[in-house]
Structure 1
């Protein structure tokens, strides 16, 4: 019985050795054995290909004495101390100038009686991985440089917008001032044709003022210098002013504007000038995108803890899938929209910033061809 068991054990051992030999010889990884003195005793063909060395220079190589790479020496010393060792780096054998990025795993070979027989090392050529890592690193650096350039360009653009906006303020004020003098007939009477011309100058200078103010607002937002002055304000008063102010534009496009804002609405804590800009932007958008003969409706009502303001129009509407993009800076639905209707695409971006500064909420309901309603909730 014992003889049979021994034969079975011998057979299993031979089969195991055969399997290991097949793995050893056919593995794409480099494998070598070394004794307890660090001398290489056996290696496979893959190791020779990875290191670019003939077999006679590998077998018998004394790693403990001849290793030049300090990190690999530490990995070997770990094995000789009965521990595992790892190495990763660019390895160059002492007898070759070839440099190969490798990853090496060292393991001790301990016999059944506990004595150290030496060790085994498995080496992987990581040249492709290192190239990919280097390429990724270069790409990351290029991306970081490009990002810094974009930030610099963005700062330059903001500075340019701010400077140009400030420079436009002076001549614009002058144009409006002299236009007002002509309109008031301070320098003498004007006929009806001249009156229409002056009104056109005043109306367009006011549009230009709003554009300049929008650019200045964006510059201040980007610079973090925007300031709000909060005080009790009446929404009814603000809407009265905005509707009256926008009436010339409404008439010019042959539109109708209706206002349903009770004077009895409670006051809210807000910045009067900024809330005026908010409503001007919303009404201006409605005017811009509503065809001749259309209607704009401005309403406000009290709802629990909020005042709900809405600006509704019978304009061209917006595709539902694009509504979420409307509050982005300089966003236009497409390039043709800007060419056909004008504008810079900053009105809703500014409006959103103003509403959020008042701890409110703004959203849009629209349907292509079915008009648009912009809703604003402001806390009381």
Structure 2
């Protein structure tokens, strides 16, 4: 059975208009440019050219400057008003510097003096077509970006260095309760926006070029729909030389999440109170017994109470970690992020945990370049990530082994890895290693105390920083945890 072959879509031919009162020039231009595959239209004077421009769009217009009734300069003004993206080439027999400068000031792209050769015409038109296509690509990209930003449910606003608004999507205007005329080109102080947002923008604009901080605020506001809580973040937008040329502010409506977090926090707080109080009381009573204040204990009794005390301590740690994890996963902790230098954090963490390693004759090696580009992060969170990974590596490794901490740059990320020579993780356990409360349970790890929340906390922190974490492991040969954190984008 014969199948229909779909027609190949042919590229759209560029349309060129030649406006000149000399028939010889018009005909020569049409002949040369038609041979190049362009669609060429002709106008015998300025009036006819303006009429054609009003009826359709041309990619390139060649216009003679000196024509009766309507000059090329007047035609150029009509083009700039009706089709600002059209590229205009001036044809002139009076190719003086003054004429050229005037034409450029009024928006001409280039000029070609009479008489000109076919090669000169082809060259100047080819350059104009290339420029026109670049403008179209920019316009298409801007259109796509504008459509994408306008469809976002989060509010987005961009300002220039003078605090004038260059972009504000409908979600942003809705979140600040603004429903008036267009805000584009207006100063941020001229529209109804909170003082916190104004201060964040001012702080961001005056930020030194060698710093990168993302101010964050939670703002309470009200409108016809009632009370609302908005999280605002502001970041500098920088040019090629690193100087700040504007700001980008993002608003998230977190009202429902805050209410959910309040309910959950109340519940967790109640549970923590109800659990911690009796646990602390029991821990104190056990300590009294272990200290012999209630009478002498046998070795067996002391052993049993020691185990109970250890388990109670583990439960206390689990309650604290569960509370930390619930806060992290809610995404509502407004941790202010800044440009964090991972070199310093890694050195400090490796030095801090070296003593824990020495207790098991485990050496901690740090491999990193002298300087790493900064990542946009919360420093305390980064310390918590490294602490959890290094502590786990020590805990799940036998004596006389090495833990290696490595930092490198990989594309647009800082790549951190913690490699041990420990017991390793089986394939089935690897699938669930980041689940809450999940712990590998085998003959090597059965006696190791833990809550199963540490890696879940690490994963939540890394993902909150738009990074990723993965693990590779072979039983008996150790494990490697790898974290990718995005670099500061300036």
TM-score of the pair, normalised by structure 1 = 0.45
* CA radius of gyration, larger in: 1
Query: More helix per residue: 1 or 2?
Result: 1
